[in-house]
Amino acid sequence: MSDNQKKLIEMIVGMQSPEAIELTKVMLEEGADPNTILDICRKAMDSVGQKFEAGEYFVPELILAGDMLERISELVKPLLKEGGGGQKKTHGKVLIGTVAGDLHDIGKNIVTFMLDVNGFEVKDIGIDVPVATFIKEIQDFQPAVVGLSGFLTLAYDAMKETVEAIKTAGLRDNMKIMIGGGQVDQVICDYTGADGFGLNAMHAVKFCKEWFGVKE
């Protein structure tokens, strides 16, 4: 790993947003592989997630980290398209959205980013997503995993309603459903009828890898 790669990881983990964005620009100008930069972001977010679990980081740090990922993605992804390359999606499709009545998207955005750089084809359908929209998107996109995000406690009822609607539509047997956001736990998971829950983006990636049979 080069010095700049190590510095970028340290800057992201250290919440040095302006410096991380500037270094990303410099690395790209010097011909760095865009995929390598995305992989560096993945490694940095692994560390951020560990700090969050350990109680060293809190929601404000996750918000800043999410903003950094978004800005770095804006710099990197156009280059992937221009080069006709990019990371080949081999693991499968994941549909993700924040359920109806909830407007939070930081956690969802980080999960989307982490799944993307770990080789999943992800479709993010946004926030405050009605049940009917989830059903239509599932029918059109045909994902193997659906992620329901929600930070507010009222989101749990919306998650349950969405899972039940998926089942009623005859789509439940063909997929796995994970939930995340706020204070989700096994009790909430059982209540909503989901297959699993994630406390952070790294958990979401782990669950998807297990469900898709992806070896570490």
Q: What is the pLDDT of residues 35-53, one digit of tens each?
A: 899 889 988 988 988 888 8
Domain 93-212: state its class. Answer: alpha beta
Domain 3-82: state its class. Answer: mainly alpha
Q: Which two tokens mark 4? A: 């700049």
pLDDT of residue 81: 60
As a whole number of angstroms, the distance between CA 107 and CA 182 comes to: 9
**pLDDT tens track for 57-92:** 987 888 898 889 889 988 988 887 655 444 455 799
Every domain of the chain and the residues it spans: 3-82, 93-212
% of the chain residues with pLDDT over 90: 58
Q: What is the pTM of this model?
A: 0.80
pLDDT of residue 46: 85
**CA dist list (Å): 100 to 38, 130, 145, 152, 155:** 31, 5, 19, 11, 7
